[in-house]
Homo-oligomer: A and B are copies of this chain.
Amino acid sequence: MDPMVRWETGATERLQVAALELFTTQGFEQTTAAEIAHAVGLTERTFFRHFSDKREVLFYGQDQFVQVFLDGVDAVPSPAAPLEVIASALRSATAFFPDGRRPYSRARQTVIDQNPALQERERHKLAGLATAVAGALRERGISEPGATLAAESGATVFRIAFAQWIRAGEERSLADIATGVLDELGHLTRRPLPDPESA
């Protein structure tokens, strides 16, 4: 193309942008990988060199997100209750989604919510996150099954909070919402019977 520049830079990012755009306007299944690639002047083969599969174009970069979670785990001094560690991880993770990112997250989630295959991948990524956190908890001396229970609970809290964060009309920060959900989790096992009058 331009004789001075052999390739445009940031092929990965350009592909991601084009993919979200196409998925939004015509749907995930109705969009072919070749179509996305051609939209940014590349070929299908190159698309698959950047992303291991078609779904991954929407999830690429989440490994970085896992690291933020783990940083939050490491941020709390070592002998601590599992829930405290989880709270720290959530603080760290939620900081990764400032309010400015909300519109993008909403658009992305709209696409995911309309495709079972994408929901599968999303759950899978979150499961990987929980597995990583569970490993970190074990290294802190928390034994199984407590480590996995805590990690999965943290992932669940994040998921619920995130879903609320991108809901239409919601304006609280992700951190604030997550704090509230985590609080609910704390009540889960403590809550007494609502009414002793039960049959």
Check if A79 is an interface residue, CB within 8 A of chain B. yes
The interface residues of chain A, by DSSP majority, are classed as helix
A79 touches B196 (CB 8 A): yes
How far apart are the CA atoms of A121 and B117 in the complex, in Å? 9
B195 touches A79 (CB 8 A): yes
Please give the number of chain A residues whose Cβ is less than 8 angstroms from any Cβ of chain B in the complex. 46
Check if A100 is an interface residue, CB within 8 A of chain B. no
How far apart are the CA atoms of A186 and B188 in the complex, in Å? 9
B188 touches A160 (CB 8 A): no
Question: Which residues 143-180 of A sit at the B interface, judged by CB distance below 8 A?
Answer: 144-146, 148-150, 152-153, 156-157, 160, 164
How far apart are the CA atoms of A191 and B142 in the complex, in Å? 11
- What 5 A-B pairs are tightest by C-beta distance, nearest first? A152-B156, A141-B198, A120-B124, A79-B198, A79-B195
